Chain A
Amino acid sequence: MTDILIVEDEQAILESLEFILTRCGWSVGVARDGEAALEAAFRFRPRMILLDIMLPKRGGLDVLKTLRSNATFASTSVVMLTARGQQYDRQAAMHLKADGFITKPYANGDVVDAVRRILDNQPRPVAHA
């Protein structure tokens, strides 16, 4: 069981996110494109996903839509990341029931706060013994 799945195609950003979230004590998985993201979601069953919108192969919104149509991820929170910061993206994401929306560039503390708020409010899943 992984706490957070980070989906990001920019190597430097992925690396920095992985560093700050791991430092806070969460377990982190990564994916670099839309298809890899879905694969990783099934494999890691993350409690939440940080999902970039501009992704190769399969866009972030498309991935979100697929997740939301699957009962397996009913309790999985998804926070979108975007560098475009356009109103259209935010609305589309909210419509697809994203749990948060973070515009790049961001302060590291904001990302950590957002993740912590979500994970703290989630009931801790029963550990499969």
Chain B
Amino acid sequence: MLSPDFVILTAVGYVGLLFLLAYVSDARAKRGNAGFLSSPAIYTLSISVYCTSWTFYGAVGTAARNGLEFMAIYMGPTLVFVGWWFLLRKLIRIAHSQHITSIADFLSSRFGKSSRLAVLITLIAVVSITPYIALQLKAITTSIQTVSVAKGDGTGHLAMLDEVTLALAVAIGMAVFTILFGTRNVDAREHHPGVVAAIAFEAVVKLLALVAVGMFVIFGVSDGISDIYARAVEAGVRIHEREPFGSRWVAVLFLSACAVICLPRQFQITVVENSNEDHLRTAAWAFPSYMLVMCLFTMPIALYGLSTMPSGSNPDMFVLTLPMVTGHDALALFAFIGGFSSATSMIIVASIALSIMVSNHIVVPLALRAVPLGEETGERDIARLLLRSRRISIAGMLLLGFLYFWLTQDSDALAPIGLISFGGVAQFLPAMLAALYWRRATMNGALAGISVGFVVWAWTLFLPSFASVSPSMAELVANGPWGISALRPEGLFGMKGMDPLVHSVFWSLLANISTLLCVSVATSQNALERIQASLFVDVFRRSASLRPRIIRGSASTSELFFVAERVLGWQRAGALFDSAGVPHRQGNASQGVSANFIARLERELAGSIGSASAHILLTKAVAGDSTSLEEMMQMADETQQAIEYSHALELKSQELHSTAQQLKEANGLLQDLHRQKDDFLSQVSHELRTPMTSIRSFAEILREPEDLTSAQRVRFIGTIHNESVRLTRLLDEILDLSALEHGERNWENVPVDAEEILEQAIAVCEALAKKRLVLIENGARAGDCLVLADTGRLSQVFINIIANAISHNDSENPVVHISSRVTLDEYIVEISDNGPGIPPQYHNKIFEKFVRADPDTMRDSQGLGLGLNISHKIVGKLNGRLELTRGALPGVCFRITLPVWREAEPTLTALEGVQVNT
């Protein structure tokens, strides 16, 4: 036998344990030592706050009354977590990036930071969740009565309390407990590691308790599941009277799927308290598994209870009464603690979530409106205000829950109450989906859709739950207002025979969705809405680090920062605010700003958008004219766009300028090349015309040979012949030059004896030297030396230089001196003469085309000025050098330097070197 005192003391002790757990966890988290607390397991367990006392006790009751309907309550969330985890991931990503604090904050932020929407959602959430809290109060009250008072021995102080007083006591206890739990943090951020830890612990307790009772029923008092079924058949239990998978089942499935996304407490735990997006991967399979274990034992317990308990006993309490009737008080107490865990965890999280919404979206804006912005409002005051408003909100929520309980105490089952709440929060779903995936959805659309859906829900589902309050209410529900049956809450427009739940879900969501669509299409978004829509819908397309963090709330700092951010960009604005010590990153850190700072901000803004615009913008922002703020946002956006555009233009024009510069340079280069080509052609033309002139002239003279002496004829014909040879050589040289410049196929570099080639070249030039009476003088010679070269080409160079030296030498005793030597790795030939030399001004030019050191000395050489150019090119291709230097004789000295080829040297490398140069 359990006395009420003992039961209540146990419950209080349990709460104390939870409090201790939360305290220790908070302390660890504050030290940055979260460890296990921020693990996916804790996250998953905390999500199971979804399983309240309604599922703990009520599932058995539902199974007993409606068969497999209870399964839908589990299957909806399972579908969401398994099939729609990407939706949850997007929710979490957005919430993290936007510092979202609640579902109201989420929707309001998405739809242009609309405060009207936030207030509407907060109010709807409060109204919708009230029955749910009442449900928990009812479950706790009934369970206390069941385990203690119901035994009827009347011992203990609390035994005389009636149901309502007990419920009030429980509500007050819960309020105190939740306030202690959820609002200990002066720092008003939305993470509550302690609460989450306690919730996770409670999740384990309730699971163990239910499993213990289930095992007890299956194996303790029965002989396995088949025994239970056999007994149920024997007792004539019929739980499948209703069609299990009909429209009601689908409606419940749908509502529970909505609920696990839209319930404020689920949003709080799944999205706001989430510390790591990856935890969702674990939760996606672990949370459905948890629910599977929870529902495994529901059917056996219900069947066993129906077949063994006396008729008229409350199936919602089978989990408690089955152990009790067999005298297992300890198990009953454990089951009670399990149910108590379910109820308290829901009350704690739901009231914390709602209190955050109420204080952030209703109390703080009102308070800020009451305090003029110009005055200094300390952060501490705001924090204190927040805490106070949260505490009052929590108390208010529990009071509302109690009132609902009190008004509807005659209704017996737990489950219908929960479904009423589900129906209410389901009105958020269309707007949520639109927020995530439909960029065109407008604030007005969301506001209208949710409002209409809520009104229909309130009329068709919420109102009828008060049917038992008064006869007039019952009359209204039964026949409609003023007897208009088309407006009958449970049969709109003459619909009959429909399950009230299905009826309500159908009409409310039809109205909600169609209104959302129509109004969104009919209305347009303002600037802020467009920005927010793209931040939400495209959250995965944007790099998190670059995305501006837009501050929520209606505090002046956030507005100023928002203005600054739009104009200056996030980084500059952030730096500005930081340097002035004005907080801007923390969502709720709202405080007034000094006039100095505003002046400074205005200067900064004026730098970007002009002083007039900056002044208007800031005057309005400081005056707190929040409706026109959005228009100003648009103005600032447009100005910013114009600035960006002009900046882009400037960049383009710079680009064009530099392109033009490059073109100019390229053009200059082309013109140079063109001029060089013209010069070359002009030179070639001149060189061709000169011999042709004498050829033609003498040919004409010879046409009348009778006037000529035979000696003249011979001489003129000789001249024609010589000039023709000269012409041919000129053409050869031009072709040779062209071949060298464009690369040559039959150029073959092989190791050759340079001395031998030099020797042959000298021999070739001997005849010319003899004719010119030039003495070829051999200086010191290198002996044999191998170089890598094309024999013909190297020979050409030697002959050209020697012949030049011979031809250009007009001294009285002309001498050409030839010497060669080998240094460490170079073969050097020097060819000098005692001729007139080359004037210094020509030293830099002699290797160019058609340059003659002094045309006067070229008289009989028949050279064209291409020879040195060709030689220079050839030596270059042999990786050598052809230079003008001082030599053994006073005249010109040319030095040819070639790299020595050695056996050990890999030929391939040398060949490659040559190829690179060709």
Interface residues of A (CB under 8 A from B): 9-13, 15-17, 19-20, 23, 33, 54, 56-57, 83-86, 103-109
Q: Contact: A33 with B697, CB < 8 Å?
A: no
Interface string of B203-217 (1 = CB under 8 A from A): 000000000000000
* Pick from B691, B696, B698, B716: contact of A107, CB under 8 Å: B696
Q: 7 smallest A-B Cβ distances: which pairs?
A: A12-B694, A83-B689, A16-B697, A104-B693, A105-B693, A56-B856, A105-B696
B728 to chain A, nearest CB (A): 15
Tell which of A15, A83, A109 has the most Cβ of chain B within 10 Å: A83
The B contact surface, by secondary structure, is helix
Task: List residues of chain B with CB within 8 A of the CB of A16.
Answer: 694, 697-698, 701, 716, 719
Tell which of B690, B692, B701, B722 has the most Cβ of chain A within 10 Å: B690
Q: Which B-chain residue is minimally distant from A20 (CB atoms)?
A: B701
Task: List residues of chain A with CB within 8 A of the CB of B701.
Answer: 16, 19-20, 108
Q: Contact: A17 with B689, CB < 8 Å?
A: no
Task: List residues of chain A with CB within 8 A of the CB of B696.
Answer: 105-107
Q: Contact: B856 with A12, CB < 8 Å?
A: no
Bound form: Cα–Cα A125–B685 in Å = 40
B891 to chain A, nearest CB (A): 19
A115 to chain B, nearest CB (A): 14
Given known pairs A12-B723, A56-B854, A108-B700, the reply for A83 and B707 (CB within 8 Å) is no
Q: Contact: B854 with A83, CB < 8 Å?
A: no
Q: Contact: B690 with A84, CB < 8 Å?
A: no
Task: List residues of chain A with CB within 8 A of the CB of B686.
Answer: 54, 83-84
Q: How many A-B pairs fall under 8 Å by CB? A: 70
Bound form: Cα–Cα A103–B859 in Å = 21
Q: Contact: B685 with A83, CB < 8 Å?
A: yes
* Pick from A9, A85, A86, A105: contact of B697, CB under 8 Å: A105
Q: Contact: A9 with B855, CB < 8 Å?
A: yes
Task: List residues of chain A with CB within 8 A of the CB of B695.
Answer: 105
B682: interface (CB < 8 Å) = yes
Q: Contact: A108 with B689, CB < 8 Å?
A: no
Q: Which A-chain residue is minimally distant from B683 (CB atoms)?
A: A84
Q: Which A-chain residue is minimally distant from B692 (CB atoms)?
A: A105
Q: Contact: B693 with A15, CB < 8 Å?
A: no
Q: A15-B694, A56-B854, A105-B697 are known contacts; what are 20 more A-B pairs with Cβ within 8 Å?
A: A9-B856, A12-B698, A12-B719, A12-B722, A12-B723, A13-B690, A13-B697, A16-B716, A17-B697, A19-B701, A20-B701, A57-B856, A84-B685, A84-B689, A86-B682, A105-B692, A105-B696, A106-B696, A107-B700, A108-B700
| 18 intermolecular pairs with C-beta atoms under 8 Å apart | A10-B694, A13-B690, A16-B698, A16-B701, A19-B701, A54-B686, A56-B856, A57-B856, A84-B686, A84-B689, A104-B689, A104-B693, A105-B695, A105-B696, A106-B697, A108-B697, A108-B700, A108-B701
Q: Contact: B685 with A104, CB < 8 Å?
A: no
Q: Which A-chain residue is minimally distant from B698 (CB atoms)?
A: A16
Bound form: Cα–Cα A56–B853 in Å = 11
Q: Contact: B689 with A105, CB < 8 Å?
A: yes
Task: List residues of chain B with CB within 8 A of the CB of A109.
Answer: 700
Bound form: Cα–Cα A109–B704 in Å = 13
B697 to chain A, nearest CB (A): 4
Within 8 A of A (CB), among B857-909: 859
Tell which of B693, B695, B700, B701 has the most Cβ of chain A within 10 Å: B693
Task: List residues of chain A with CB within 8 A of the CB of B854.
Answer: 56
B688 to chain A, nearest CB (A): 8
B720 to chain A, nearest CB (A): 9
Q: Contact: A13 with B856, CB < 8 Å?
A: no
Q: Contact: B693 with A23, CB < 8 Å?
A: no
Q: Contact: A104 with B855, CB < 8 Å?
A: no
Bound form: Cα–Cα A15–B690 in Å = 13
Bound form: Cα–Cα A89–B310 in Å = 133
Given known pairs A84-B686, A107-B700, the reply for A23 and B707 (CB within 8 Å) is yes
Within 8 A of A (CB), among B669-707: 682, 685-686, 689-698, 700-701, 707
Task: List residues of chain B with CB within 8 A of the CB of A10.
Answer: 690, 693-694
Within 8 A of A (CB), among B595-619: none
Q: Which B-chain residue is minimally distant from A14 (CB atoms)?
A: B694
Task: List residues of chain A with CB within 8 A of the CB of B694.
Answer: 10, 12-13, 15-16
Task: List residues of chain B with CB within 8 A of the CB of A103.
Answer: 689
Bound form: Cα–Cα A13–B691 in Å = 8
Task: List residues of chain B with CB within 8 A of the CB of A17.
Answer: 697
Task: List residues of chain B with CB within 8 A of the CB of A54.
Answer: 686, 855
Q: Which B-chain residue is minimally distant from A84 (CB atoms)?
A: B686
Q: Which B-chain residue is minimally distant from A55 (CB atoms)?
A: B855
Q: Contact: A20 with B697, CB < 8 Å?
A: yes
Within 8 A of A (CB), among B362-393: none
Bound form: Cα–Cα A104–B687 in Å = 11
Q: Contact: B856 with A33, CB < 8 Å?
A: yes
Task: List residues of chain A with CB within 8 A of the CB of B685.
Answer: 83-85
Given known pairs A12-B698, A20-B701, A107-B700, the reply for A83 and B859 (CB within 8 Å) is no
Bound form: Cα–Cα A91–B242 in Å = 117
A10 to chain B, nearest CB (A): 6
Task: List residues of chain B with CB within 8 A of the CB of A19.
Answer: 701, 712
Q: Which A-chain residue is minimally distant from B678 (CB atoms)?
A: A86
Bound form: Cα–Cα A15–B855 in Å = 19
Q: Contact: B855 with A56, CB < 8 Å?
A: yes
* Pick from B682, B693, B712: contact of A13, CB under 8 Å: B693
A17 to chain B, nearest CB (A): 7
Bound form: Cα–Cα A54–B855 in Å = 10
Q: Which A-chain residue is minimally distant from B694 (CB atoms)?
A: A12
* Pick from B689, B719, B723: contact of A85, CB under 8 Å: B689
Task: List residues of chain A with CB within 8 A of the CB of B693.
Answer: 10, 13, 83, 104-106
Bound form: Cα–Cα A66–B695 in Å = 32
Q: Contact: A11 with B689, CB < 8 Å?
A: no
Bound form: Cα–Cα A73–B797 in Å = 49
Q: Which B-chain residue is minimally distant from A23 (CB atoms)?
A: B707
Q: Contact: A15 with B719, CB < 8 Å?
A: yes
Bound form: Cα–Cα A109–B699 in Å = 13
* Pick from B690, B697, B698: contact of A83, CB under 8 Å: B690
Bound form: Cα–Cα A111–B739 in Å = 39
Q: Which A-chain residue is minimally distant from B687 (CB atoms)?
A: A83
Q: Contact: B859 with A11, CB < 8 Å?
A: yes
A12 to chain B, nearest CB (A): 4
Q: Which B-chain residue is minimally distant from A111 (CB atoms)?
A: B697
A81 to chain B, nearest CB (A): 9
B14 to chain A, nearest CB (A): 112
Task: List residues of chain A with CB within 8 A of the CB of B690.
Answer: 10, 13, 83, 104
Bound form: Cα–Cα A16–B703 in Å = 14
Q: Which A-chain residue is minimally distant from B700 (CB atoms)?
A: A108
Q: Which A-chain residue is minimally distant from B723 (CB atoms)?
A: A12
Q: Which B-chain residue is minimally distant from A88 (CB atoms)?
A: B682
A22 to chain B, nearest CB (A): 11
A97 to chain B, nearest CB (A): 24
B842 to chain A, nearest CB (A): 13
Task: List residues of chain B with CB within 8 A of the CB of A15.
Answer: 694, 719
Task: List residues of chain B with CB within 8 A of the CB of A13.
Answer: 690, 693-694, 697
Bound form: Cα–Cα A17–B696 in Å = 12
A68 to chain B, nearest CB (A): 24
Interface string of B842-856 (1 = CB under 8 A from A): 000000000000111
Task: List residues of chain A with CB within 8 A of the CB of B700.
Answer: 107-109
